Amino acid sequence: MPDTASKLLYGLSLTALALASAVLTWTLGDFATAARRDNEPGTEAPAVQEAERERLAKIGLAALDRFQETWNTRDTAVWSQSLHFPHVRPSAGNFGLAPTRADYMRNQSGVFERVLAAGWHRSQWNSRRVLHVSSDKMHIAGRYSRYRENGEIISSQQVTYVVTRQGEQWGIQARFGTGFLASGEQAADMSEAARTAVQTYFAALNSLDPERWADTLHFPQARLDSSGLDFRQTRADFLSGTAPGRQRTWPETRIDAMEVYQTGPSGANLNVRYSRLNADGEALSAYDAVFLATLRDGRWAVQAHSTYGP
């Protein structure tokens, strides 16, 4: 009888040991899988993602501070060091493009003389809002005012800044200007017109008709995407470019969210999130973007946009 009991106890011990080993093996394997998953790009824990976003946002805001501080030096050569090139400045009024720093400095000849003649003493930020961040590009909405020496405000402007990293240096590569602030009923009208312009743009994009797509744009036209700056001086330049003839592998692009966050008398900046869909209407990918829609020649259309997609 003792022999039978010993054998039974021994057998139970082996079974328990096997179960424990299996549990341990499953636990370690699951932990290893989770560790690999957590180390993949874009799969960090929310707290880690937020910490990284805050770190990058501080870098972007510091680049804007450098831009404003160097502007206040009244020295074009110093100020240009805060910019990246090619540099583009689309707006509801003028449209500026400078392929190189030397080009930019030539184009800015006399700029400080003009603002000083208007009584300008310094410029300061009124507000800033970080819209989108990545490891090499950010969109930041800013509002600033120009002041006289006695503190009186001369004017206030709204601009969205595209901040990029070139090498180890962060700088301003594009400025989407909406001009002076719009308010009340005017702002509401501008917002609705700008929303319609962007919706029309995406509808034309989905039509696969290059001529219809070109009808939704103002020229000169600028797009900053994951490959850099694509600039088109005229409609003919656009139609002969790579975008209209691109063989897209997705049937449709859908607007997921759209916010008009800056409005002026003849322009507005919009925060847009869009998805590319497959034939079943399922999202293949999603991207954030800013669009500048402007009123020119009596017509609202897209003047420029900056995206995180290819």
In a domain? residue 155 = yes
Residue 35: what residue type? A
Cβ atoms 83, 172 nearer than 8 A: yes
The tokens describing 300, both together, are 């609202």
Asked whether residue 193 falls in the same domain as residue 210, the answer is yes
More confident: 25 or 179: 179
Q: What's the average model confidence in pLDDT over 269-290?
A: 97
- pLDDT score at 187: 84
Average the pLDDT over each of 114-128, 142-156, 236-250 and give the range with the smallest value: 236-250
Asked whether residue 231 falls in the same domain as residue 257, the answer is yes
Residue 220 has pLDDT above 80, yes or no: yes
The tokens describing 214, both together, are 């070109």
In a domain? residue 284 = yes
Residue 202 has pLDDT above 60, yes or no: yes
Angle at the Cα of 289 from the Cα atoms of 234 and 239, rounded to 5 degrees: 25
Number of domains in the chain: 2
User: Is residue 220 reached through a cis peptide bond, with omega within 30 degrees of 0 on the bond before it?
Assistant: yes
Distance CA 278, CA 249 (A): 8
Grade residue 221 by pLDDT with cuts at 50, 70 and 90: very high
- pLDDT score at 2: 43
Residue 240's H or E segment, with its range, is none
In a domain? residue 20 = no
User: Is residue 90 reached through a cis peptide bond, with omega within 30 degrees of 0 on the bond before it?
Assistant: no
Grade residue 43 by pLDDT with cuts at 50, 70 and 90: low
* pTM, entire model: 0.84
Cβ atoms 151, 168 nearer than 8 A: no
Q: What is the CATH number of the domain that holds 123?
A: 3.10.450.50
- pLDDT score at 42: 56
Residue 270, Cα to own-chain centre: how many angstroms? 11
pLDDT digits (tens, 9 = 90+) for 136-159: 999 999 999 999 999 999 999 999
Asked whether residue 193 falls in the same domain as residue 166, the answer is no
Asked whether residue 163 falls in the same domain as residue 204, the answer is no
Residue 88 has pLDDT above 50, yes or no: yes
Asked whether residue 137 falls in the same domain as residue 226, the answer is no
Average pLDDT, the chain: 87
Q: Which of 179, 214, 236 is the last residue of a domain?
A: 179
User: Quick one: which of 245, 249, 243 has its CA closest to 307?
Assistant: 243
Asked whether residue 171 falls in the same domain as residue 197, the answer is no
Q: What's the average model confidence in pLDDT over 115-143?
A: 97
Any idea what DSSP says for residue 178? E
- pLDDT score at 303: 98
Q: Which of 149, 179, 209 is the last residue of a domain?
A: 179
- pLDDT score at 179: 80
User: Domain limits at 221?
Assistant: 184-307
Asked whether residue 133 falls in the same domain as residue 243, the answer is no
Distance CA 83, CA 173 (A): 6
